[in-house]
Amino acid sequence: MPTEDEEHGLPVSSSASIKGGKEIIWFYDAALLQNQPLVSKPDLVEGRMKTVGLYMLSGEEGCGKSLFAMNLALSICCGTDFLGRTTIKGRVLYIDNEIDQDEFNSRLKKMNRTYEPGTFVVLFNAPVIEEGYLEERLIALKPALVIVDSFYLATLAKENDNDSIKKVLFQLKDLTSKHNCAILFVTHFHKGTRDNILHMDNTAGAGVQNRIVDGSFLLRLSAKNEAQRIFKSGKVRSFSSKEKTPHLLILNEDTLWFEDKGEVNEEEHVAHQGGGHRTESFDILKVFEDKGRDMLVRSEVVAAAKELKYGSATADRALQDAVDAGTITKLRQGVYQLVKADDDKMNLSSDKS
């Protein structure tokens, strides 16, 4: 129980007790708070992330969010600069619900960084956050950074439900304070935001997530060049608003590392109505036709795109556009099947007969 200021009868401790299943909040006397020394949390990533805090990375389909998150993870593990910013070396817990283990390992090999055993711990298809498994890992591993990729697959909360999202995000925020770590979760943009300037409102799901996080990062493809990305901070609590300035990133397709090329005029890289992206020039249906099969894996589509001098981002956008249009179906991660209207009609006829 908190002690009281004898003169004023006010509690002077922020301790909380549990009574009848409810938390009792004790308040500080502001006059006493004023006399306490300020404790400044150091930067985990210079000017971008504090050592304690909840952060969000969001971006459009195929822009390299997972690659960005892996670059960050390896930089922290090695204590090396991330996009030209210094970092504090520490253990990283990476929860991967987005890509399969073989693809993750393939990317890791290309990124080619050396780090001490046990400093980069990866969990594939881990239990959802609400089951308490994450806190068990935090207690056991004591990571400096936790990355959850992607958020909607790591929670039971409905993506657009403010109340359920708020509950799980406050749970994560509580874990950052309790276990002295930073947590970054990865999410995605709304469909149809390619013509928009980067803004937190582009982020899909419950709007409350933008208000709860301590900081957010936004990533998009450039309409001018397949290897270029536009990156900026959407929310910069604890940092200067100058961090919201857009930066141009270049993705090295061989090493899968992003490089910061400095500040950029974002509008020059936005695909405005009537043009900008080149996905319409890459015919995904022709790839199926050329292969002579109605089922393809992503790597085959990427290889076909590269033969035509397009990057993997174009292949990913073409695949997603075709899925959205209903011309192909995504069977599972990285596997796509052609939807044949004629075959469907034949099957219906066979059923009737």
pLDDT tens for the chain, 353 residues: list them: 445 444 445 555 544 444 444 455 556 677 777 787 877 889 999 999 999 999 999 999 899 999 999 999 999 999 999 999 999 999 999 999 999 999 999 999 999 999 999 999 999 988 889 889 999 999 999 999 999 999 999 999 998 899 999 999 999 999 999 999 999 999 999 887 777 788 877 888 888 898 999 999 999 999 888 889 999 999 888 888 888 999 999 999 999 999 999 999 998 888 654 433 333 457 888 898 888 999 999 999 988 888 876 767 678 878 888 888 888 999 988 899 998 755 443 343 444 44
Enumerate the domain spans of the chain: 1-38, 43-269, 279-341
In terms of DSSP bridges, do strands 247-251 and 258-263 run parallel, antiparallel, or are they unpaired? antiparallel
Q: So what's the pLDDT on residue 13? A: 52
Q: So what's the pLDDT on residue 55? A: 97
CATH 3.40.50.300 fits 43-269, yes or no: yes
Report the chain's C-alpha Rg in angstroms: 24
Greatest Cα pair distance in the chain:
92
Separation between Cα atoms, residue 215 and residue 234, nearest integer Å: 7
Q: So what's the pLDDT on residue 96? A: 96
Asked if the bond preceding 312 is cis, omega within 30° of 0, the reply is: no
Separation between Cα atoms, residue 284 and residue 330, nearest integer Å: 13
Q: Which helix (H) or strand (E) holds 30?
A: helix 30-34
Pick the CATH number of 279-341 from 1.10.1760, 1.10.10, 1.10.287, 3.30.110: 1.10.10
Residues 6+ apart with CB under 8 A from 180: 51, 52
Whether this model's pTM surpasses 0.85: no
- Count of CB atoms situated within 10 Å of the CB of 126: 19
